[in-house]
Chains A and B, each alone.
Chain A
């Protein structure tokens, strides 16, 4: 199975600040079709997860340009700029390249 390792486990940020979350996979996430199915999700308190970024760097419909994704192969990063109160929650990376699909353990973003 592909193991997704997220760091840090939690982080504190000031409103208006910037954060980076790392996600590393134990195997390359490049699919046979050439796509890299690495996504980022946010789960706000008491809500279901929602898709932020798909295929490494593409913002999903309605997602602010304050969110950006980058990386390749096995090493990926989510950056959030100008943090707002609504950004707080748990962030997960997930891979849809190989079965079983797997997720990172999550990074909790809290206010400093």
Chain B
């Protein structure tokens, strides 16, 4: 079965940095685009970032709200995806979900992890 397990969340102060991770298993990780989606407390879903596969040059895409501050990366040898978050703001406080595309039906956000909570507060 597909599993996505996020880790690394916590409490940080504004302007600080944090790197969260996602360990994937149960599918051919190197073939799947990976995403981060966040959900502020009591709010809806917001797409954050996407990273494509090696044949697509690991191209990355970001929401305007995080562009220039967040960096998504992946390590296919470890089936891991990361989100480096710099210059954090209080409005970045959210549950961060790692999600994977389905390669069989070619659709994004097919599989979701349980999330890791990032709290930005002084």
Contact = CB atoms under 8 A, between A and B. Distances in A.
> Looking at B46, B47, B64, B97, which has the most chain A CB atoms within 10 Å of its CB?
B47
Contacts of B115: 48
A54 B46 CA distance: 18
Contacts of A105: 44
Where chain A touches its partner, the secondary structure class is loop
Given A94-B45, A99-B61, A103-B46, A48 B112 contact: yes
Interface size class of B (residues with CB under 8 A): 20 to 34
Interface size class of A (residues with CB under 8 A): 20 to 34
Interface in A16-66: 35, 37, 39, 41, 48-51, 54-55, 58, 60
> Looking at B111, B112, B115, which has the most chain A CB atoms within 10 Å of its CB?
B112
Contact of B44 (A50, A54, A106): A106
Where chain B touches its partner, the secondary structure class is strand
Nearest to A53: B107
Interface string B63-79: 11000000000000000
Interface string B35-51: 10100000011110010
B45 A54 contact: no
Contacts of B109: 39, 41, 49, 51, 94, 96, 101
A69 interface: no
Contact of A101 (B64, B108, B110): B108
A89 interface: no
A100 B64 contact: yes
Given A48-B97, A99-B61, A100-B64, A54 B47 contact: no
Given A51-B102, A92-B45, 10 more contacts: A39-B107, A41-B45, A48-B113, A48-B115, A51-B110, A55-B107, A92-B44, A94-B109, A96-B107, A106-B44
| The 6 residue pairs across chains A and B that have the minimum distance between CB atoms | A54-B107, A101-B47, A96-B108, A103-B45, A48-B112, A100-B63
